[in-house]
Amino acid sequence: MSQHAATDVRLHKVKTAGERRHTPATLVAGLILLTILVAIAIFAPLIAPYNPEAQNATALLQGISAHHWLGTDELGRDVFSRLLYATRVDLEISVAAVAASWLIGTSLGLLAGYAGGIIDAIIMRLVDFVMAFPFYVLIIALVFVIGSGFGSILLALIVVGWVSYARIVRGEVRVVATREYIAAARMTGIRGRWLLLRHVLPNVVVQPVVYAMSDVINVILAIVTLGFLGLGVQPPTPEWGLMISDGSDFLATHWGLATFPTIAVVITGLAFSLIGDGFAELVAEG
């Protein structure tokens, strides 16, 4: 984090050939993985061999075979197809929730940090109130009030999710606002202010993005857990949490039913982790 902004500006230009920024391997790996997942989500209808909701009473609880690559569940549905469609559902909700939270949180954080005074106080108090509750408890309470299902948990996640971003961004803005170089920038005139903005904005935007990458994992886990508990996405829509719940009765015999969706969650989490780490490495100033 830049402690001495003025010197940092100079450092940017003095990077020698040996220290030229290279794209971290983790970032590349993560992006590739994510692209594959997003592709799966988008093209699920084309890739999936079966209708994920189609039940087949003659093919219950089958193991891995040529017909059903990952077997079938207790209602005869093809696990592979369900997995593909569930990827779509979980990714849609989580990405939408995090993106909206990021947007709302960053805006409010900017407002609070920049405006200061009563606006800052109100927004931060609001943040405190939301953060006073454990994450899951608040979401569940909201779901209770609004009802369950795709749209409801998306709304609940956003209502609870924006606070972290607001806090981070507001913190970044406050750090900048109290620096001496603001006064110095004002003295150097418009060019100074432009330089300031060029320096403030990157930091303010970068931190919440890095956080967003780790936030997605938590959001996905929340969606999965809610689905498992029956409070999230409702059946028959395929969703990882619902698949784990359905498969929980058969862990001793057909462990795949609950484990394949878990593996999907882990891989997705890994992808975002890699991106987050890689991105942080990319923007770190040595």
Partner 1 sequence: MPYGSYLTRRLLSGLVTLFGITLVVFLMIHLVPGDPARVLLGPHATAQEIATLHAEWGLNRPIWIQYGLYVKRVVTGNLGSSLFYQIPVSQLIGERLPLTLYLMAFSAVLALIIALPLATLAALRRDRLADHIVRIFSQIGLSVPAVWLGLILITLISVKAHALPVGGYGTGAAAHFRSLILPSLTIALSIFPTLTRSLRASLIVVLDSDYIASAKARGLSWPRVVIVHGIRNAIPPTVTVLGLNIGYLVGSTVAVETIFALPGLGSLMIQAVLSRDFPVVQGVAIVYGVLVLVINLATDLTHTALEPRLVEQ
Q: How many residues bind partner 1 (CB under 8 A)?
A: 42
- Interacting stretch for partner 1, rule CB under 8 A, among 33-41, 45-53, 187-195, 221-229? 221-229
Name which of 117 and 134 has its Cβ closer to partner 1: 134
With CB under 8 A as the contact rule, the residue among 21, 251, 284, 285 that binds partner 1 is 251
With CB under 8 A as the contact rule, the residue among 230, 235, 284, 285 that binds partner 1 is 230
Q: Which of residues 126-145 bind partner 1 (CB under 8 A)?
A: 128-138, 140-141, 143-145
Q: Residue 241 interacts with partner 1 (CB under 8 A)?
A: yes
With CB under 8 A as the contact rule, the residue among 35, 51, 188, 248 that binds partner 1 is 248
Q: Residue 273 interacts with partner 1 (CB under 8 A)?
A: yes
**Smallest separation, CB 267 to partner 1 (Å):** 8
39 is written with which tokens? 């592709």
Q: Residue 146 interacts with partner 1 (CB under 8 A)?
A: yes
Q: Which of residues 60-99 bind partner 1 (CB under 8 A)?
A: none
Name which of 84 and 143 has its Cβ closer to partner 1: 143
Give the burial string for 22-56 (b: 16+ CB within 10 Å, else e).
Answer: eebebbebbbebbeebeebbeebeeebebebeeee
End-to-end CA distance of the chain: 10
Name which of 39 and 263 has its Cβ closer to partner 1: 263
Q: Three-class SS string for the chain? A: CCCCHHHHHHHHHCCCHHHCCCCCHHHHHHHHHHHHHHHHHHHHHHHCCCCCCCCCCCCCCCCCCCCCCCCECCCCCEHHHHHHHHHHHHHHHHHHHHHHHHHHHHHHHHHHHHHCHHHHHHHHHHHHHHHCCCHHHHHHHHHHHHCCCHHHHHHHHHHHHHHHHHHHHHHHHHHHHCCHHHHHHHHHCHHHHHHHHHHHHHHHHHHHHHHHHHHHHHHHHHHHHHHHHCCCCCCCCCCHHHHHHHHHHHCCCCCHHHHHHHHHHHHHHHHHHHHHHHHHHHHCCC
Q: Residue 221 interacts with partner 1 (CB under 8 A)?
A: yes
- Interacting stretch for partner 1, rule CB under 8 A, among 70-78, 113-121, 170-178, 227-235? 227-235
Q: Residue 159 interacts with partner 1 (CB under 8 A)?
A: no
**Smallest separation, CB 161 to partner 1 (Å):** 13
Name which of 174 and 195 has its Cβ closer to partner 1: 174
Q: Which residues bind partner 1 (CB under 8 A)?
A: 125, 128-138, 140-141, 143-146, 217-218, 221, 224-225, 228-231, 241, 244, 248, 251-252, 255, 258-259, 262, 265-266, 268-270, 273
